[in-house]
Amino acid sequence: MPPKILVSACLAGFKVRYNASNKTLVHSTLERWQQEGRWVICCPELAAGFSTPRPPAEIAAAANGAEVIAGKARVIDADGNDVTEPYLLGAHLALNTARLHDCRFALLSDRSPSCGSQTIYDGSFGGQTQPGSGVTAELLRQNGIEVFSEHQIETLIARVEAAERT
């Protein structure tokens, strides 16, 4: 059976980002995988009950998803509300979805406090980024799912193709 890929709903064209926009990806291999039924589309934030649009959120104090999972950092929205628990819930729901569909890979939207896999915002709400993972990306990694951002499509393709050969 070809490997399945958990895909951020915003990258699949759904307007689910905090500002009700999307980040639709266009790539022939990704489109083929979608047609083959290999995409498992998920938005951790919507799964946790957030609406669209919603206030933007960032992991506070220049922390990262691993620290949120460990209980050492919080996710705060632009209105100052602590939204850590829904972000943790969304991460666990995404992990459950990935397990249910036997996803070995995930293609997630970078910079998101949920899905960022290489870069996230630093918690200042000043538009500054830092290296790090969001809560969902980190939880997926901790559970053996290989996570890629929309900036790593060629690397994802190479990994999936290698998995198909084994």
Find where tokens 């064209």 sit: 13
- pTM of the predicted model as reported, rounded to 2 decimal places: 0.97
**Model confidence over 62-100: pLDDT tens digits?**
999 999 999 999 999 999 999 999 999 999 999 999 999
Domain housing 23: 4-165
Number of domains observed in the structure of the chain: 1
- The pLDDT tens digits of the residues spanning 117-156 come to 999 999 999 999 999 999 999 999 999 999 999 999 999 9
CA distance 123 to 80: 11
CA–CA dist 4, 101 (Å, integer) = 7
C-alpha to C-alpha distance for 18 and 86, rounded to whole angstroms: 14
